[in-house]
Amino acid sequence: EKSPRIYTREEVKSHSSLETRIWVTLGCEVFDVTEFVDLHPGGPSKLMLAAGGPLEPFWALYAVHDQAHVREILAQYKVGELSPEDKAPSTLKTSDPYADDPVRHPALKVNSQRPFNAEPPPELLTENYITPNPIFFTRNHLPVPNLKPETYRLHVVGPPGCQSLSLSLDDLYQFPKHEVTVTLQCAGNRRSEMTQFKEVKGLEWNAGAISTARWAGARLCDVLAKAGHQLRETEAHVCFEGLDSDPTGTAYGASIPLARAMDPEADVLLAYEMNGQPLPRDHGFPVRVVVPGVVGARHVKWLGKVSVEPEESYSHWQRRDYKGFSPSVDWDTVDFDSAPSIQELPVQSAITEPKDGETVQSGEVTIKGYAWSGGGRAIVRVDVSLDGGLTWQVAELDGEEQRPRKAWAWRLWQLQAPVPAGKKELNIVCKAVDDSYNVQPDTVAPIWNLRGVLSNAWHRVHVRVTP
Ligand code: HEM
Ligand code: MTE
């Protein structure tokens, strides 16, 4: 037998388009799967996510590949093996404050590497009702702290006259464990659509700055009660501080009203588990705040301190960011004190399949997406149009039923619709309605704001139809 041809990871990486052919690796074996792309039962676009790199991180998400017949299919496409020195991960420079950041899943679309900001590609986002941890969107403002669970302490500042608490992880585990499925959305989700209309200041996000997980931890109201807090001061705020800090020592911070924190029905958690696992480092290990129905920015990660204060958090991210303004306000005229901080988010929906610019088959088209509203408001309907909003069809809602006033998690939806005969292209649009009958605005223009937040206009996808 001939000895196998040897390739480097760099060489494999250069084969990531149909022009250069599609190579992937599994273990130390290299495969040219170009001929299989269109045959893939999970669809070509999903296979292409792994093009030029390892299959393992993707197959770990989809156990359907954990079968002998899948290996047999792959084996037919073997072209060689990886060189032995290429199996070890490359070493990182240590002077870099981000050098200690965790390793991320290759499917994530990176909007900024340092600090790390990334979203799952649309074709994976709605594949599962619960977003798998490795592809949950990540929004970091600073390097990821490396916290040791043994020495971790959460400082809870008690009201005047009471004792403050210093809680270890074990102490937190002693509180009743509360579990809740919550969708987290960044205020900047879909910012790129605002940018297309008119430039904004902020990281580009497509429609993937939103994800859903099952969170478990102690209820904030139980921990505050233990520290002696009661809901007397309705005007007060609960301030949170992260253990991530910039070179000046300023930590990430945010706050929520005390009334929400103390309401047992609001399900505010100090979470230590995400989908049955300890929190991944990117998502706040070992403890983060989860505030159902509220903008992502208040879900403070790597939580170090909780205190009840007469005023909102003085953090930059509470007072000088994450606020909405009129389209007429620019950076010369903006007065951040004039607008309230974003807490509950407005109704939102987006199309994840097909993708903008894709070509679909004539006959029938399947359209998929998500819908969610803030404040526990349930999604009652998603309308979909194939003709830019002239005529509408009602999509089928999937995913878990929502409880009134406690609809913390999204609904996934889909619509199978005949493609009208003779159509060469489709202008697909979606819009959702929540149970307060809030709707999404039809265009970006009237909601444009200088920071590009709260982008929830009708989502539009333009596709061509094969004749
Ligand atoms: C399904 C092979 C890459 C996502 C399948 C199935 C096969 C297969 C044979 C059907 C399994 C069954 O139902 O018994 C392959 C091969 C790949 C590859 C040979 C690499 C060359 C990927 C990647 C992803 C992916 C990179 C994800 C990012 C899926 C999904 C399904 C699937 C979601 C299920 C589709 C459904 O439930 O209808 N794949 N796959 N595959 N694959 Fe892959
Ligand atoms: N908490 C800390 N300590 N530091 C941060 O940078 N980012 C916030 C919030 N909590 C942030 C944080 C923002 S803006 C969002 S949208 C969410 O975390 C994102 O959470 P995720 O990365 O787990 O998706």
For residues 205-227, one letter each, b for 16 or more C-beta atoms within 10 angstroms of the residue's C-beta and e for the rest, the string is bbbbbbbbbbbbbbbbbebbebb
* pLDDT over 60 at 93, yes or no: no
Confirm whether 47 is domain-assigned.
yes
Q: What angle do CA 141, 338, 244 make, to 5 degrees?
A: 15
Mean pLDDT of 182-194: 98
Give residue 64 CA to ligand 2 midpoint distance, Å.
32
The pLDDT score that the predictor gives to residue 467 is 83
Based on the domain organization, do 228 and 279 belong to the same domain? yes
* pLDDT over 90 at 437, yes or no: yes
Nearest CA to ligand 1 atom 31: 42
pLDDT band at 233 (very low <50, low <70, confident <90, very high): low
Which residues, 6+ apart, have CB-to-CB distance to 175 below 8 Å?
A: 218, 219, 222, 223, 226
* pLDDT over 50 at 127, yes or no: yes
Give residue 22 CA to ligand 2 midpoint distance, Å.
35
* pLDDT over 80 at 276, yes or no: yes
Based on the domain organization, do 285 and 373 belong to the same domain? no
Give the domain-ending residue among 62, 86, 110.
86
Question: What is the distance between the alpha carbons of residues 191 and 201, in angstroms, rounded to a whole number?
Answer: 10
For residues 417-454, one letter each, b for 16 or more C-beta atoms within 10 angstroms of the residue's C-beta and e for the rest, the string is bebeeeeeebebbbbbbbbeeebbeeebeebbbbbbbb
pLDDT, one tens digit per residue, over 305-347 is 999 999 999 999 999 999 999 999 999 999 999 999 999 999 9
Question: What is the distance between the alpha carbons of residues 186 and 342, in angstroms, rounded to a whole number?
Answer: 11
pLDDT band at 95 (very low <50, low <70, confident <90, very high): low
User: What is the best residue among 140, 182, 279 to mutate for testing ligand 2's pocket, by most ligand atoms within 8 Å of CB?
Assistant: 140
Confirm whether 112 is domain-assigned.
no
pLDDT band at 11 (very low <50, low <70, confident <90, very high): very high
Q: Work out the percent of the chain whose per-residue pLDDT is above 90.
A: 84
Question: What is the distance between the alpha carbons of residues 29 and 313, in angstroms, rounded to a whole number?
Answer: 53
Confirm whether 118 is domain-assigned.
no
Q: How far is CA 436 from CA 101, 443, 445, in A?
A: 42, 21, 24
* Residue 139 appears among annotated catalytic residues: yes
Kindly report the average pLDDT of the chain as a whole number. Answer: 93
Based on the domain organization, do 275 and 361 belong to the same domain? no
Based on the domain organization, do 214 and 311 belong to the same domain? yes
The CATH number covering residue 32 comes to: 3.10.120.10
Based on the domain organization, do 61 and 201 belong to the same domain? no
pLDDT band at 158 (very low <50, low <70, confident <90, very high): confident
Based on the domain organization, do 320 and 387 belong to the same domain? no
Nearest CA to ligand 1 atom 35: 42
Residues with CB under 6 A from ligand 2: 136-142, 184, 186, 242, 244, 252, 282-283, 296-297, 299-302
Based on the domain organization, do 286 and 160 belong to the same domain? yes
* pLDDT over 90 at 62, yes or no: no
pLDDT, one tens digit per residue, over 366-383 is 999 999 999 999 999 999
User: What is the best residue among 141, 273, 295 to mutate for testing ligand 2's pocket, by most ligand atoms within 8 Å of CB?
Assistant: 141
Its domain, for residue 14, covers: 6-86
The candidate with the shortest Cα–Cα distance to 26, out of 92, 97, 78, is 78
Nearest CA to ligand 1 atom 14: 64
| Tokens 């600073």 -> residue | 142
Give the pair of three-digit tokens for residue 229. 């807090």
The CATH number covering residue 236 comes to: 3.90.420.10
Give residue 300 CA to ligand 2 midpoint distance, Å.
6
Pairing of strands 154-157, 303-309: parallel
Predicted ipTM > 0.95:
no
- The answer to whether the beta carbons of residues 86 and 13 sit under 8 Å apart is no
The pLDDT score that the predictor gives to residue 91 is 43
pLDDT band at 353 (very low <50, low <70, confident <90, very high): very high
pLDDT, one tens digit per residue, over 413-426 is 999 999 999 999 99
Based on the domain organization, do 220 and 272 belong to the same domain? yes
* Residue 65 appears among annotated catalytic residues: yes
The pLDDT score that the predictor gives to residue 89 is 47
Give me the catalytic one of 15, 105, 139, 377: 139
Give the domain-ending residue among 284, 307, 338.
338
Give residue 284 CA to ligand 2 midpoint distance, Å.
8
Based on the domain organization, do 304 and 367 belong to the same domain? no
Which residues, 6+ apart, have CB-to-CB distance to 390 below 8 Å?
A: none
The candidate with the shortest Cα–Cα distance to 64, out of 16, 128, 151, is 128
Which residues, 6+ apart, have CB-to-CB distance to 67 below 8 Å?
A: none
Lowest mean pLDDT among 84-98, 233-247, 264-278: 84-98
Give the domain-ending residue among 86, 118, 144.
86
Based on the domain organization, do 376 and 288 belong to the same domain? no
Of 366 and 114, the structure prediction assigns the larger pLDDT to 366
Based on the domain organization, do 385 and 316 belong to the same domain? no
Pairing of strands 117-119, 109-112: antiparallel
The pLDDT score that the predictor gives to residue 65 is 87
Nearest CA to ligand 1 atom 36: 42
Mean pLDDT of 227-248: 85
Residues with CB under 6 A from ligand 1: 24, 33, 36, 40-42, 46-47, 49-50, 55, 58, 62, 64-65, 67, 70, 73-74, 127
User: What is the best residue among 64, 76, 131 to mutate for testing ligand 1's pocket, by most ligand atoms within 8 Å of CB?
Assistant: 64
Confirm whether 140 is domain-assigned.
no
Q: What is the number of domains present in the chain?
A: 3
Of 12 and 114, the structure prediction assigns the larger pLDDT to 12
Based on the domain organization, do 358 and 251 belong to the same domain? no
